[in-house]
Amino acid sequence: MTRYQIGELARMTGLTVRTIRFYSDSGLIPPTDRTTGGYRTYDTDALARLKLVRTLRDLGVDLPTAGRVLAREVSVTDVARAHADAIDAQMKTLRLRRAVLRAVAKGGEMELMNELARMSDEERQRILDDFFEEVFGPYELDPQFEQHMRSVRIELPDDPSTEQLEAWVELAKLVQDPDFRAAVKRMSQQHEEKRREGADMGPPGDGQMEAFNFAIAQAREALDAGIAPESAEAREVVDRVNANWAEALGLPNDDSLVERLRELSDFADPRAERYWVLIARINGWPAMPDHSRERAWLREAGQPFG
């Protein structure tokens, strides 16, 4: 029967003589026999056990667990599954740390980013739920609208990009901003009042969306052309935008139009649009259009809806 001394085992397994001797002294790989000179020898079964221990250790399994595998107290399958799960958790943590560090390297707030990134999905959603409870809870809103808003989930992936992590931090700060909450509560209150008056509080019709898109396109052209919002050229842009809105709303292009556009603007806080831009970025959805630059230009130019 084939016998191996420790030096031969070391050459065959890539382990050091010292390591093999330690495994042998601890009873993990006991010697099969001894030579007349007192040197330990090991058979092929001991070699196989040693290779198994080496593989388990390479995979991060601790020695006590490796011993339990050799003693058949636990199967290799069970150990592999448990350690794979542990590695998955470690990898998730490391990926989040990497995203946090990259975001911090771009100038982000380290402590805040780390705290928000480490939250569970339930903890992240709780931030949104708390927001909706405050801004919607006291009011009777259109059920379909409210259900849609509350149904959106935060789905930050296990391996978020720097942009996704930054978007989540910005969103968390936005929905916890007292000024933004107050603005949404005002919108909710007005929504309830107009609904009681019988107004249609459903999504805007095609005509209004076309008028909005026309206004955005006009503002974008003005921005690209370098037109200052306080200039005479900007006034001409606003006149075109208002005339188009008057046609879409069926109103004369006078003070009644201005009043109506101001009413619409009460339900069109630019930060609400930013909310959806951030949600899409966090969840990896197709990018939502961000009209913040164009709307800011329109407001500076005096366009009532902005």
pLDDT tens-digit series, residues 64-91: 888 888 888 888 888 788 878 777 777 7
Instruction: With beta carbons less than 8 A apart as the criterion, state whether 3 and 32 touch.
Output: yes
CATH code for the part of the protein at 4-74? 1.10.1660.10
Q: What is the pLDDT of residues 116-157, one digit of tens each?
A: 777 888 888 999 999 999 999 999 988 888 898 999 898 888
Question: Is the CB of residue 284 less than 8 Å from the CB of residue 258?
Answer: no
Cα–Cα distance, 186 to 138 (Å, whole number): 11
- What percentage of the chain has pLDDT greater than the value 70? 98
Per-residue pLDDT tens over the stretch 238-281: 999 999 999 999 999 999 998 988 888 867 788 888 999 999 99
For the cut 80, the answer to whether the pLDDT of residue 306 exceeds it is no
pLDDT value of position 305: 82
The H or E element that residue 41 is part of is strand 40-41
Task: List C-alpha distances in Å: 205 to 15, 41, 201, 208, 267.
Answer: 74, 87, 11, 5, 15
3-state SS, one letter per residue, for 62-122: CHHHHHHHHCCCCCHHHHHHHHHHHHHHHHHHHHHHHHHHHHHHCCCCHHHHHHHHCCCHH
Q: Which of 17-21, 46-50, 97-101, 244-248 has the lowest mean pLDDT?
A: 97-101
**In terms of DSSP H, where are the helices of 119-161?**
121-136, 143-151
Quick check: helix, strand or coil at residue 31? coil
Percent of the chain at pLDDT above 90?
42
Q: How confident is the model at residue 38 (pLDDT cuts 50, 70, 90)?
A: confident
pLDDT confidence bin for 37, thresholds 50/70/90: confident
Q: What is the pTM of this model?
A: 0.63
Instruction: Give yes or no for a contact between 142 and 191, defined as CB atoms under 8 angstroms apart.
Output: yes
Whether the per-residue pLDDT at 236 is higher than 90: the answer is: yes
Over the chain, what is the mean pLDDT? 88
Residue 108 banded pLDDT, cuts 50, 70, 90? low
At residue 282, the pLDDT reads 92
Q: What is the DSSP letter of 200?
A: -
In the structure, what pLDDT confidence band is assigned to residue 204 with cuts at 50, 70 and 90?
A: confident
Instruction: For the chain, give every domain's residue range.
Output: 4-74, 203-301
d(CA 279, CA 288): 9
Q: How confident is the model at residue 178 (pLDDT cuts 50, 70, 90)?
A: very high
For residue 226, pLDDT over 90 is answered with: yes
Residues 6+ apart with CB under 8 A from 167: 278, 281, 282
Distance, in Å, from the CA atom of 249 to the CA atom of 215, rounded to the nearest integer, reads 14
Contacts of 116 by beta carbon, 8 Å cutoff, 6+ apart: 124, 168, 169, 172
CA distances for 109 relative to 102, 170, 279, 299, angstroms: 11, 11, 20, 31
Report pLDDT for 80: 82
Q: Check pLDDT > 70 for residue 197.
A: yes
| Choice between 117 and 227, residue whose per-residue pLDDT is larger | 227
C-alpha distances (whole Å) from 105 to each of 101, 113, 174 are: 6, 12, 22
Mean pLDDT of 209-235: 95
Give the other-Cβ count within 10 Å of 233's Cβ: 13
Q: Which residue has the higher pLDDT, 115 or 280?
A: 280
Q: What is the three-class DSSP state of 40?
A: strand
* Stretch (H or E) spanning 34: strand 33-34
Residue 193 pLDDT greater than 80, yes or no = yes
pLDDT surpasses 70 at 192: yes
